[in-house]
Amino acid sequence: MDFKLIWLVLGLPVLGFLIQAFFGGRVISRMGAASGRKVMGWLAVLPIAGAFGAAVGITMELAKRAAEDRAVVETLFSWIRIASINVPFEVRIDPLSMTMVLIITGIGALIHLYATGYMAEEKDYSRFFTYMNLFVAFMLVLVLGNNLVLLFIGWEGVGLCSYLLIGFWYKDLANSRAANKAFIVNRIGDWGMTLGMFMIVAMIAGNLGQFQGVEGRYLSYDVVFSSTAIEIFRSNPGITTAIALLLFVGAMGKSAQFPLYIWLPDAMAGPTPVSALIHAATMVTSGVVLLNRCNVIFQLSPVASSVVCVIGAFTALFAALIAFGQTDIKKVLAYSTVSQLGYMFIACGAGAYWAGLFHVTTHAFFKALLFLGSGAVIHAMAHNQDMRNYGNLLKYLKITGWTMVIGWLAISGVAVWTFFGFAGFYSKESILGAAFGNNFASINGVNYGFYSAAVGLLVALLTSLYMTRMTMLTFFGNEERWKLIPAHSHAEHSDHAHHASHAHEHEHDHHGPDVESFFFNEEELALAHAHEDHEHHHELDENHVPHEVPTSMWMPLVILAALSVLGGFVLAQNNVFEYWLYPKGELTILGELEHHPHWHELLVGLSTVAAYGGILIGYLIYRKGLPKSEGWDLSAWNPFRRAAGNQFGYDKSMVDIGVDGGGALANFSWKVLDAKGVDGVVNGLGGISAGIGRAFGAVQSGFVRSYALLMMLGGAGLVGYLVYLLTVAQGGAR
């Protein structure tokens, strides 16, 4: 098989995107909603599935090669040629990119399939799949591109698609806000990302003489991370650390790390397949891919690596704690995602880049499963997302229920000692082992990697605990709580509850930038409210009977469940995943790292205890259903849970500082700096100019005599000046 096939991988989603964009609406309107959507649905799934098939072929071809030449660069066309710089449109086929390609297209195809069912009632059916296919295309560009420019294009492209999809139901103001929030917060990450990239370019450009025979491809990975470049980085440790930290800022934005994670929970406003694909399995792991791609830079900087570890650990813990205060099933999963991403960064900081990507892979399996499962639950429960309305759903949703149970066990890291474990067990184990066992991420002898791993172990316990809470509240317990909602009275009730967790956002609605009706005028706001009211027609109440989802939706669940059970086990055999990414487990600079601390067995014991312990505690608390202390009455909640529900006030303070503070700053710069300062200067200058003009105009009396007088005076002046100049010149000559 030919590596040229990679253009098929990249081209199919683009083709799908074009078909959806240009023919989707027409096909659906001509063939009628039902059959049209069916056709377009398949036309959306097939390109991704086809890309997956081609990617499998390429990966197998790649695997046949010797470990050291598993990197093929394919160039499609010469893209940018300015002076001596040459940026071709080129892709890099190597284990890292192909791993991601398989995840993106494989999981992507499953989620697309699921979405054909989930979105079946959607009016803008083909718009949804337009964005989805475009997202896949951009994500592929991100991971496949062989230079920083393509990486950036992909990076921004997926950001755009994420924005479009979060705000897919844009008529709901909250969704638009969430989309804006995601987009704006990611700008901060992009600030770091671009600066980091510019600094890399500057480093290369400053030492062009050392690069021979690269045909101006100064931005391509094979040049940027060549041994020559590594030497340049090595001799500038300060700058290298700065680059690493700036790139990590970019990763923090895209991969939702503290302090920039705040956009991801809000991003759950998008349709659930979007949450599964973009905000769990693929896009949010871009940061981990970036760190893997640029690993030599991080290997050269223990300081930056320590920062990565600490941020990762803190994010993991912080998000896990917040998850306890959430009642929205998707919010729980969102914080869980943030927390798991933190895990991945612990691995990358500790030097176990492969373990980070391993967790990306297993997490893609079980988190996609959990999101899709939650989507199925939401689908079955009339789009009510509050777990307090659920309970004993396993009785109604057999397939969804059992697959989600598998996802729950996988994320909790359940295992039978080391003989067999669910997917999460292996990746979590390798992260903790590497972080405990190495001392790479150290500053001044303090091994931050170790402490981060210790936090990670605690988070493992918390993870299995909050996931147990979610599973128990949803699927187990004897009460079917939605039956307690009397028909016709629920709207106010559940609305209130629903809004409780958003209280801070809505509060900020009323004194945000809309004070000047800048973003939305009153009419639009009224329209948005009318729309919201409209949406609550089909509501959950005592008469509701949940139904299992259609085949197109449960099929992906089953496949993902199988992967969640077996994926980790298979990939961990004989270090196959690690050696695939990093042959012989050796890093370019650090060499071979420890996989485990010498107290390996104790660690396995501890993580097993954490997994089972969390489940046990959770079972004891939630076996009877919803405890009073977590019910509808928020005042009965203990202070910790209330604080967790509000993200410990972090999001609110960020929004206050960022939005209101920014608004105040903007108001200041508008009303004072601009209106008084700049306008003052401008108008002043204009006034002065007009004054000068009027003065000239005053000389323009209209009388010929005065014109002639001025001409004569001017002539006398001119001649006098000439003669004066000549006299001076002649005087000087003498």
Binding segment (CB under 8 A) for another protein, from list 168-176, 203-211, 489-497, 689-697: 689-697
Q: Which is nearer to another protein, 530 or 710 (CB)?
A: 710
DSSP state for residue 386 in the 8-state scheme: B
Out of 526, 602, 620, 708, name the contact with another protein by CB under 8 A. Answer: 708
Binding segment (CB under 8 A) for another protein, from list 183-191, 241-249, 311-319, 723-731: 723-731
Q: Which is nearer to another protein, 675 or 692 (CB)?
A: 692
What phi, psi does 446 have (nearest 5°)?
-90, 120
Binders of another protein among residues 199 to 258 (CB under 8 A) are none
DSSP state for residue 76 in the 8-state scheme: E
Q: Which is nearer to another protein, 446 or 719 (CB)?
A: 719
| Residue 180 to residues 162, 352, 403, 711, Cα–Cα distance (Å) | 10, 34, 34, 66
Q: Does 697 bind another protein (CB under 8 A)?
A: yes
Q: Which is nearer to another protein, 591 or 684 (CB)?
A: 684
What single string gives the DSSP state of each residue in 186-201?
HHHHHHHHHHHHHHHH
Q: Does 684 bind another protein (CB under 8 A)?
A: no
Q: Does 692 bind another protein (CB under 8 A)?
A: yes
Q: Which is nearer to another protein, 202 or 719 (CB)?
A: 719
**Residues 611, 464: contact at Cβ < 8 Å?**
yes
Q: Does 42 bind another protein (CB under 8 A)?
A: no
Binding segment (CB under 8 A) for another protein, from list 151-159, 311-319, 594-602, 695-703: 695-703
Give the residue from 403, 367, 406, 384 showing the smallest Cα distance to 546. Answer: 384
- Please report how the helices 33-64 and 6-31 are oriented relative to each other, as an axis angle in degrees rounded to 10: 170
Residue 64: count of CB within 10 angstroms of its CB:
9
Residue 491: count of CB within 10 angstroms of its CB:
14
List, as own/partner pairs, every contact residues 549-554 make where C-beta atoms lie below 8 angstroms and the sequence separation is at least 24, other chains included. 549/117, 549/376, 549/379, 549/380, 549/397, 549/399, 549/400, 550/117, 551/117, 552/113, 552/114, 552/116, 552/117, 553/114, 553/117, 553/118, 553/372, 553/375, 553/376, 553/379, 554/376, 554/399, 554/400, 554/403
Binders of another protein among residues 342 to 401 (CB under 8 A) are none
Q: Does 682 bind another protein (CB under 8 A)?
A: no
Rounded to a whole number of angstroms, the minimum distance from the CB of residue 732 to another protein is 10
Q: Which is nearer to another protein, 67 or 685 (CB)?
A: 685
Q: Which is nearer to another protein, 665 or 725 (CB)?
A: 725
User: Within the chain, what is the greatest distance between any pair of CA atoms?
Assistant: 118
Q: Which is nearer to another protein, 77 or 696 (CB)?
A: 696
* Calpha distance 670→542 (Å, rounded): 54
**Residues 352, 315: contact at Cβ < 8 Å?**
no
Q: Does 670 bind another protein (CB under 8 A)?
A: no
For the chain, how big is the Rg over CA atoms in Å? Answer: 31
**Residues 335, 462: contact at Cβ < 8 Å?**
no
First-to-last CA distance in the chain? Answer: 92
Binding segment (CB under 8 A) for another protein, from list 235-243, 250-258, 652-660, 719-727: 719-727
Out of 123, 510, 538, 694, name the contact with another protein by CB under 8 A. Answer: 694
Q: Does 690 bind another protein (CB under 8 A)?
A: yes
* Calpha distance 381→402 (Å, rounded): 17
Rounded to a whole number of angstroms, the minimum distance from the CB of residue 683 to another protein is 12
Rounded to a whole number of angstroms, the minimum distance from the CB of residue 712 to another protein is 8
Rounded to a whole number of angstroms, the minimum distance from the CB of residue 687 to another protein is 10
Rounded to a whole number of angstroms, the minimum distance from the CB of residue 674 to another protein is 20
- Please report how the helices 329-349 and 353-380 are oriented relative to each other, as an axis angle in degrees rounded to 10: 180
Rounded to a whole number of angstroms, the minimum distance from the CB of residue 518 to another protein is 24
Binding segment (CB under 8 A) for another protein, from list 55-63, 245-253, 373-381, 701-709: 701-709
What phi, psi does 222 have (nearest 5°)?
-65, -20
Q: Does 721 bind another protein (CB under 8 A)?
A: yes
How many residues bind another protein, per CB under 8 A? 30
Q: Does 718 bind another protein (CB under 8 A)?
A: yes
Q: Does 693 bind another protein (CB under 8 A)?
A: yes
Q: Does 696 bind another protein (CB under 8 A)?
A: yes
Binding segment (CB under 8 A) for another protein, from list 147-155, 255-263, 519-527, 684-692: 684-692
| Residue 245 to residues 234, 264, 485, 556, 573, Cα–Cα distance (Å) | 16, 21, 51, 38, 34
Query: Three-state SS for 470?
Result: helix
Give Cβ neighbours of residue 629 (< 8 Å, ≥ 6 apart). 636, 637, 638, 641
Rounded to a whole number of angstroms, the minimum distance from the CB of residue 708 to another protein is 5
Binding segment (CB under 8 A) for another protein, from list 152-160, 393-401, 560-568, 713-721: 713-721
Q: Does 719 bind another protein (CB under 8 A)?
A: yes
Rounded to a whole number of angstroms, the minimum distance from the CB of residue 678 to another protein is 16
* Calpha distance 56→42 (Å, rounded): 21
Total number of residues shown for the chain:
734
Q: Does 707 bind another protein (CB under 8 A)?
A: yes
Q: Does 75 bind another protein (CB under 8 A)?
A: no
Residue type, 331: K
Rounded to a whole number of angstroms, the minimum distance from the CB of residue 676 to another protein is 22
Rounded to a whole number of angstroms, the minimum distance from the CB of residue 80 to another protein is 23
Q: Does 683 bind another protein (CB under 8 A)?
A: no
Q: Does 722 bind another protein (CB under 8 A)?
A: yes
Write out the residues near another protein by the rule CB under 8 A: 686, 689-690, 692-694, 696-697, 699-700, 702, 704, 706-708, 710-711, 713-715, 717-719, 721-723, 725-726, 729-730
